[in-house]
Amino acid sequence: MTRMGSVALVGAGPGDPELLTIRAAHRLRDADLVLYDALAPDALLALAPHARRFYVGKRAGRHSIDQAGIDKLMIRAARRGERVVRLKCGDPFVLGRGGEECLALAAAGVPYEVVPGLSSATAAPALAGIPVTHRGIAPGFAVASGHAAEAYGPVVDGIAPGALTLVVLMGLRTRGAIAERLLARGWAPATPAAIVLGASQPTEARWLGTLATLATAVIDLELPGVLVIGEVVALAHTIGARTDLHAAPRTQQGQQGLP
């Protein structure tokens, strides 16, 4: 009888292998099969030298395989005795369907573990010099998925204007609608806003502007991006920097980094 394998739901963080946890690196090293997301770079996959690799990513509505299919792949491989790594961008439990996968594995009687990772909700702003909380400016932050109004609407509508920092994942294409909704809720047009693209990757860049100009930001929609809206964004002019795409005011456009 074949001995049951196991599944590790591993958070890949924003993609830089140096930002992985030690446990995540160990699980990749020992894996027989890696099921990886769209944003997992080759440098991460190289940490699983003996594993078969299967792409199960989802990008902007383009799915290589549906969630039920991913669940079946994990369960089938574990029942063959394999050590499976489900490599998930960011953290498995932050807008990553990790909970759904755990429930499917539990129902199938498959042993599993969750290996937390750095969520882009905090890592991307940090790498761009933006603290999502700051004493006297923002006592907390809210995270929302920007892929559809039914996802971000309840979060946006539940925040008093300027009360918290708003971080939106998967919201590049809907940033105009999100900005419009916030303005309608009473947020000031001059509220600082940022877009962080390709966090931790060689292509990393940031756009700094305001809520009023967020919709018209010229960005590469093929890169992964995070929206950050709130007064803490203004601190990015002082706290570190990466390559800026555009900055506000106009006189700073094209500036390569900031002091």
- Whose tokens are 């699983």? That residue is 48
Which fold does the domain 6-115 belong to in CATH? Cobalt-precorrin-4 Transmethylase; domain 1 (3.40.1010)
Percent of the chain with pLDDT over 70: 90
Whether 171 contacts 161, CB under 8 Å? no
**58 flagged as catalytic:** yes
Annotated active-site residue 71? The verdict is no
Rounded (5°) CA angle 200-127-64? 40
Separation CA 239–CA 79 (nearest Å): 49
Instruction: State the residue for tokens 């006592």.
Output: 139
Asked if residue 98 has pLDDT above 90, the reply is yes
What pLDDT, in 10s, does the model give residues 19-74?
999 999 999 999 999 999 887 888 999 999 999 999 998 765 555 689 999 999 99
Question: How confident is the model over 59-71, as pLDDT tens digits?
Answer: 655 556 899 999 9
**Which CA distances in Å does 34 have to 164, 229, 254?**
37, 35, 40
Q: Would you tell me the crossing angle of helices 149-158 and 175-184 to the nearest 10 degrees? A: 30
Which of the following is catalytic: 16, 32, 58, 220? 58
- Give me the amino acid identity at 195: I
How confident is the prediction for the chain on average, in pLDDT?
89
pLDDT tens-digit readout, 179-223: 999 999 999 999 999 999 999 988 889 999 999 999 999 898 888
Kindly give the interhelix angle for 98-107 and 67-79, rounded to the nearest 10 degrees.
Answer: 50
Q: Which CATH architecture has domain 120-252?
A: 2-Layer Sandwich (3.30)
Q: Which tokens belong to 169?
A: 């994942």
Q: What pLDDT shows up at residue 63? A: 55
- Prediction pTM value: 0.87
- CA dist., res. 95 & res. 110, Å (int): 23
Instruction: For residue 204, give the amino acid letter.
Output: E
Catalytic pick among 16, 30, 37, 66: 37
Take residue 258 and report the two structure tokens written for it: 């900031």
Provide the pLDDT for residue 51.
97
**Domain locations in the chain as residue ranges:** 6-115, 120-252
Contact 171/152 with Cβ under 8 angstroms? yes
pLDDT of residue 203: 85
Checking if the pLDDT of 2 tops 90, the result is no
Strands 83-88 and 112-115: unpaired
Rounded CA gap, 53 and 36, in Å? 7
> What is the predicted pLDDT for the residue at 62?
54
Q: What is the pLDDT of residue 64?
A: 67
